Amino acid sequence: MSSLISSVAWVRRGVASQHPTKYVLDDQELERVSALARIELEDARKELEQAHKAAEAMGKRAEGDEADDADDDDSAWVDEDENEDEDNDAMDEDVPMDQDEPEKPSESKAPKGDDLEQYNLDDYDNDDAMPGMGPFSNIKGLTYYRNNDEDPYITLKEDDEAQEREELEVLPTDNLLVVAKTEDEISQLEVYVYDESEENLYVHHDLMLPSFPLCLEWLDFPPVSSPAARPPPDGGAPAQFGNFIAVGTLDPEIEIWSLDVVEAMYPDMVLGRPDKTAAHVPTPLGTGKKKRKKTKARPASTAHHVDAVLGLSWNRTHRNMLASASADRTVKLWDLSRDPTINGEGGEGQGALRSFDVHKDKVQAVQWNQADPTVLLTGSYDRTVRTFDSRAPDAGVGAVVGADVEALRWDPWETHAFYVSLENGLVVNFDARALPSDLSSPSPARFTLAAHDGAVSALDINPHVRGIIATGGTDKTVKVWNVTEDQDLGKRQVSLVTSRDLGVGKVFSAVWSPDDPLTLAAAGSKAKLQIWDIGANANARKVLGPKVAEAGRVLKEKQSGGVISVATDDEDSSGDEDGDEGEE
């Protein structure tokens, strides 16, 4: 599997802890981790049993063969050491006269089986008879200190803890970026620090993942099973806000990690049933040496996902709510204030709060409406989008879009408007109020934009300035569009502000900064993260400058020319920049 970055998430300034803590495995944490470990051991045991049965069925009784070998007569084996001794005796007869023949230890003096007595190991530690060696062998009275802290002649003491604390410090003016990265079949979360004033981007720490990551969602609600949600040792109320990232992977479980803890071994919360969904075992087909693997189908469940998690969305109003979209064709709601812990003894846990079957194929994306926090927007491989109130999902409306959905976003500037990006390169804008409840009825779009030559795999709406959207596609370009409303015609006009190949390969994620009006992060198939300041482009400053000023924001031109990266290679990421008109 080639290296790539599948998703990127920003963390706004001032949210991260200034001094992240080290992972602590206390009694409570050990109890929680032990429950997860028991699940993993049970899965391993089941896999071994299944593999053993498959081996027996194919006639490969490895254990039986080993048992037969153990019953063989030992007399059939010859001690090579004894034969070698006899051969050596015969060869030692022809010894040159100018060499002394070494004396052989008498076998009668040493008991049988004690061949090490000749080395006199019992007196090995007695150094009294050993003569001094080396140029400093006659110097006596030297004092040895275990470390520099005990040496009185070293006045500048090393403070490793203070140095490490300084290296891990995150300033209030720093942004964090969380990257879902897979490299050499190893998946991890890389946490970057971005200092906008110094134009500096570097990796702060990373977290290992058990499976290929597909989506990320930042949240500030401390899950009930997180150490951050426990009362502090000195008393007082537990923390109400935190810094967490939810991760959806090829596994059916959702992991939630704290970004303020480094060297963490286990996530703060796991949503799902790993004891059930991870117990499936690939079964071999046929009896030949080369076998194909077939995965047993997992039974559907309303309490947890049974396939990969493709999309996540955190509710910023009801902060304990998290929505997830899965390849099992369902959308589920999770209450992070409920304990999902599995005790390893048959406990069912509390599972998902709600489960919705509104699509007929894999659900690719999901998002809460910020203005109406009970309304969800979903998009699927069945080539439809649906929007519904989570309290009454049967009363929802939808639209047929004609291609697989890649991404979708509510427009933060219009309560009922949303954008959908498709596999065929189009971006479509809808008004939810005009959509029918019956998908067989016409569902006209407000406008359609031919954005990319390939799939539009990345889409985001600028949260600072109205009418600015960013798209990224498999054609390896990131584009910024300006949406304006023609008052005379009553229609929206869309124009391309700038386009750039940032050298990230096929673009899988393009996200606007939560703090800077014209800064976005992009990543893709080359496993590289790039920060792009759109304001460095002359045409962007000309077109978007009035909008930015109207929003009360100030454009800051970067010294680096607009692109900031941690890469050290000489790849050309200049790309094409133009101002062509997009389709209405």
Q: Tally the residues of the chain.
A: 584
| Residue burial 228-249, b: 16+ Cβ < 10 Å; e: rest | bbeeeeeeeeeeeebbbbbbbb
pLDDT given for residue 139 in this prediction: 54
Q: Please tell me whether the overall predicted TM-score, pTM, comes out greater than 0.85 for this model.
A: no
Which residues fall within 8 angstroms of residue 509, CB to CB, at 6 or more apart?
5, 6, 7, 8, 458, 472, 521, 522, 523, 524
**CA–CA gap between residue 277 and residue 41 (Å, rounded):** 14
Whole-number Å distance between alpha carbons of 267 and 255: 6
Q: Which of 303, 212, 276, 266 is nearest to 46 (CA)?
A: 276
* Antiparallel, parallel or unpaired: β 21-22 and 261-262: parallel
pLDDT tens digit at each of 584 positions of the chain: 579 999 999 999 999 999 988 887 777 777 767 766 656 666 667 777 777 777 777 665 445 555 455 555 554 455 545 555 555 554 455 545 445 445 544 444 445 555 667 777 777 666 555 555 555 555 555 676 777 777 777 766 556 677 777 888 999 999 999 999 999 889 999 999 999 988 899 999 999 998 999 999 999 999 988 888 877 777 777 888 999 999 999 999 999 999 999 988 889 888 987 766 654 444 444 444 444 445 556 778 888 899 999 999 999 999 999 999 999 999 999 999 987 654 434 445 568 999 999 999 999 999 999 999 999 999 999 999 999 999 999 999 999 999 999 999 999 999 999 999 999 999 999 999 999 999 888 888 999 999 999 999 999 999 999 999 999 999 999 999 999 987 777 788 999 999 999 999 999 999 999 999 999 999 999 999 999 999 888 889 899 999 998 888 877 766 667 899 985 544 444 444 444 433 33
Distance CA(176)–CA(195), nearest Å, equals: 9
- Encode burial over 296-323: b for 16+ CB neighbours within 10 A, e otherwise: eebeebebbbbbbbbbbbbbeeebbbbb
DSSP string computed for 257-297: EETTEES-SS-SEEES-HHHHTT---EEESSSSS-EEEPPP
> What DSSP element (H or E) covers 500?
strand 491-500
**Contact between 409 and 459 (Cβ < 8 Å):** yes
H helix or E strand, kind and range, residue 485: strand 478-486
Q: What is the DSSP letter of 581?
A: B
Give the model's pLDDT for residue 51: 72
Q: What pLDDT is stored for residue 572 in this prediction?
A: 42
Longest alpha-carbon distance in the chain: 116
